[in-house]
């Protein structure tokens, strides 16, 4: 099985939109359009010509520690259910690492959700060498302090980093 990864542009943005719709992800109709206008690289993975997953490599993250240390952030990694456990997410992460290094980054960061739906991602990130950044849990890229109450949703994350070799 061969995994192809390409950068999404205006010319192939419809492929990403179709993948998001096929996966029934809760994104609005203008999500892809907004993504392409931001300073980040949008990657689309395919397997045998079928759209299999995507992610973003954001060089202007909102998380203060990443900003301060010039750490790009991999965001919104999603693999189509039909292609999970086949190396698609791993290939997307490796491509983000490669692109970050090409731009001079020494580390790559990401945030991972804390509820069970993120369990496979949590395990994959650790397996691939990402470790918690030591700042504790964040909500919408901002620190949580003792006794704070936040919903357990996609904005409640543990931020992780990997030193790139």
CATH number for the domain harbouring residue 141: 3.40.630.30
pLDDT per position as a tens digit, 49-59: 999 999 999 99
Domain encompassing residue 131: 3-163
Q: Is the pLDDT of residue 94 over 80?
A: yes
pLDDT of residue 38: 77
Residue 65 DSSP label:
H
Q: How confident is the model at residue 165 (pLDDT cuts 50, 70, 90)?
A: confident
pLDDT of residue 109: 98
pLDDT of residue 153: 95
Q: Where are the alpha helices (DSSP H) in 43-141?
A: 64-68, 88-102, 119-127
Distance CA 146, CA 126 (A): 26
User: Is 91:44 a contact under the CB 8 Å cutoff?
Assistant: no
Distance CA 144, CA 10 (A): 38
Return the higher-pLDDT residue of 97 and 37. Answer: 97
Q: How confident is the model at residue 75 (pLDDT cuts 50, 70, 90)?
A: very high
Distance CA 139, CA 163 (A): 24
The mean of the pLDDT values for the chain is 94
Angle at the Cα of 103 from the Cα atoms of 52 and 140, rounded to 5 degrees: 65
Query: What percent of the chain stands above pLDDT 70?
Result: 99
Q: Is the pLDDT of residue 65 over 80?
A: yes
Task: Please state the rounded mean pLDDT for residues 38-47.
Answer: 91
- Domain count along the chain: 1
Q: Is the pLDDT of residue 1 over 80?
A: no
Q: Is the pLDDT of residue 74 over 80?
A: yes
Kindly report whether the global pTM for this prediction surpasses the value 0.95.
no
The overall longest dimension of the chain from CA atoms, in Å, is: 49
pLDDT of residue 10: 87
């Amino acid at each position: 099985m061969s995994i192809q990864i390409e950068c999404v542009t205006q010319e192939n943005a419809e492929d990403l939109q179709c993948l998001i719709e096929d996966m029934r992800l809760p994104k609005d109709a203008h999500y892809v359009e907004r993504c392409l206008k931001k300073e980040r690289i949008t990657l689309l993975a395919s397997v045998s010509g079928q759209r299999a997953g995507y992610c973003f490599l954001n060089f202007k993250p909102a998380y203060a520690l990443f900003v301060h240390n010039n750490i790009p952030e991999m965001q919104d990694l999603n693999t189509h259910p039909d292609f999970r456990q086949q190396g698609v997410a791993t290939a997307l992460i490796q491509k983000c690492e490669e692109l970050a290094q090409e731009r001079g980054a020494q580390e790559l960061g990401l945030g991972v959700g804390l509820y069970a739906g993120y369990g496979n991602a949590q395990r994959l990130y650790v397996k691939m060498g990402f470790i918690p950044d030591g700042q504790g849990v964040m909500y919408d890229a901002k620190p949580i302090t003792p006794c704070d109450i936040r919903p357990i949703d996609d904005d409640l994350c543990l931020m992780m980093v990997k030193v790139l070799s």
